[in-house]
Amino acid sequence: MILLCAATYAVGSREMEKFVVSFFAGLFRTPEDDWWGYVTNGGSEGNLYGLYLARELYPKGMVYYSEATHYSVQKNLHLLNMPGIIIRTLPNGEIDYNDLENTIRMNRHLPVIMLANIGTTMTEARDDVKRIKDILKNLAIRHHYIHADGALSGSYSAFLEPRPAFDFADGADSIAISGHKFIGAPIPCGVVIARKSNRDRIARSVAYIGSMDTTITGSRNGHSPLFLWYALKSLGVEGLRERARHSLTVAAYAVERLNENGIPAWRNPDAITVVFPDPPGSIRRKWQLASESGCSHIICMPNVSRAQIDQFVESFVEAMVLI
């Protein structure tokens, strides 16, 4: 048994966890000597942690998030008893910045807690953290906190050119990613990075474990850091960059092939998620497609090949002919 828990328990993978957190802290351009993080059970816990820090910093804050935000956020707000306002989205799934600015203006007396999506669930749209930061500055909102939910896209956005505005250098106060998506850990996990100065506000000393209580779950699965450590050690920055390049190339190929066959597929800039109108039910079941509001998508993870895209397009076209 491998655990990540008390300092008095000597068998663990804490050193591997430190490496994983440090690796992503570097990618996310965290402030020097003011960052901290841990390996979570997944993106939902990372979002919960970011919102928890924000609530402790601004107990009277209002949370703003778009209608394309992951369902876990509303659940987390309920758990934390935090008020929230849903903001409209643009056609591509990105937050509507005009609606955001107008809504914040009506509540200027309240601290702003912003949940930015770095890759929405259905269209992988990225909210521009720098633009959100500029809105707060223009409205003279001094008390604010920005959490970036980068479950999928956050894992590789640092390798894109031009680089999206999503990390600490752009104004984020915490970032959560998943480890079982783009990186490919075999069990659900994630990483959350936050400013250490904010984490210190929730830290509590627990005498019998000889350590500080700073996480959501306390004792945690120690195998997740091992899987992430192995992946990062094996791939390195260049390996992850190559995985991103491959996924983006396959996604572009998927859009091209679908369009060639009369299927109006599209994707957001530098996204590995391809969106198209719902295919027949037989195709959705065969390929286990996620669908919402008349649209479905495929996500071109690093393991997806052009040959698989060809098979998908062929079955899609055949099913359309039979309608």
From first to last of the 323 residues of the chain, give the pLDDT tens digit. Answer: 454 554 556 667 889 999 999 999 999 999 999 999 999 999 999 999 999 999 999 999 999 999 999 999 999 999 999 999 999 999 999 999 999 999 999 999 999 999 999 999 999 999 999 999 999 999 999 999 999 999 999 999 999 999 999 999 999 999 999 999 999 999 999 999 999 999 987 765 443 344 566 787 877 889 999 999 999 999 999 999 999 999 999 999 999 999 999 999 999 999 999 999 999 999 999 999 999 999 999 999 999 999 999 999 999 999 987 76
* Residues 198 and 309 both lie in one domain: no
* Residues 84 and 194 both lie in one domain: yes
User: Can you read off the two tokens belonging to residue 10?
Assistant: 């000597």
* Residues 284 and 270 both lie in one domain: yes
Q: In Å, how far are 45, 72, 76 from 115, measured between CA atoms?
A: 14, 12, 12
Rounded to an integer, what is the distance from CA 16 to the centroid of its chain?
22
The C-alpha atoms of residue 48 and residue 40 are separated, in whole angstroms, by 10
Torsion angle, CA of 278/122/221/48, rounded to 10 degrees? -140
User: What does the pLDDT read at residue 299?
Assistant: 98
* Residues 228 and 257 both lie in one domain: no
User: What does the pLDDT read at residue 38?
Assistant: 95
Domain, as residue range, for 280:
237-321
Tell which residue, 96, 85, 94, 148, has the closest CA to residue 270.
94
User: Can you read off the two tokens belonging to residue 165?
Assistant: 């505005």
The C-alpha atoms of residue 38 and residue 215 are separated, in whole angstroms, by 8
* Residues 11 and 47 both lie in one domain: yes
User: What does the pLDDT read at residue 7?
Assistant: 53
Q: What is the 3-state secondary structure (H, E, C) of the chain?
A: CCEECCCCCCCECHHHHHHHHHHHHHHCCCCCCCCEEEEECCHHHHHHHHHHHHHHHCCCCEEEEECCCCHHHHHHHHHHCCCEEEECECCCCCECHHHHHHHHHHCCCCCEEEEEEECCCCCCCECCHHHHHHHHHHCCCCCEEEEEECCCHHHCHHHCCCCCCCCHHHCCCEEEEECCCCCCCCCCCEEEEECHHHHCCCCEEEHHHCEEECCCCCCEECHHHHHHHHHHHHHHHHHHHHHHHHHHHHHHHHHHHHHHCCCCCECCCCCCEEEEECCCHHHHHHCCCEEECCEEEEECCCCCCHHHHHHHHHHHHHHHHCC
* Residues 58 and 171 both lie in one domain: yes
* Residues 36 and 160 both lie in one domain: yes
The C-alpha atoms of residue 203 and residue 200 are separated, in whole angstroms, by 5
Peptide bond into 162 cis (omega under 30): yes
Q: Do 43 and 69 form a contact (C-beta atoms < 8 A)?
A: no
User: Can you read off the two tokens belonging to residue 89?
Assistant: 């989205």
How many structural domains are present in the chain? 2
* Residues 34 and 152 both lie in one domain: yes
From 180, 205, 233, the end of a domain falls on 233
pTM of the entire predicted model: 0.92
From 178, 202, 233, the end of a domain falls on 233
User: What does the pLDDT read at residue 9?
Assistant: 60
CATH number of the domain enclosing 284? 3.90.1150.10
CATH number of the domain enclosing 79? 3.40.640.10
∠ CA 42-198-43, nearest 5°, is: 10
User: Can you read off the two tokens belonging to residue 45?
Assistant: 């816990």
User: What does the pLDDT read at residue 210?
Assistant: 44
* Residues 122 and 267 both lie in one domain: no
User: What does the pLDDT read at residue 203?
Assistant: 63
φ/ψ of 154, rounded to 5, equals: -65, -25
* Residues 151 and 222 both lie in one domain: yes
From 194, 216, 233, the end of a domain falls on 233
* Residues 34 and 161 both lie in one domain: yes
* Residues 65 and 204 both lie in one domain: yes
User: What does the pLDDT read at residue 209?
Assistant: 46
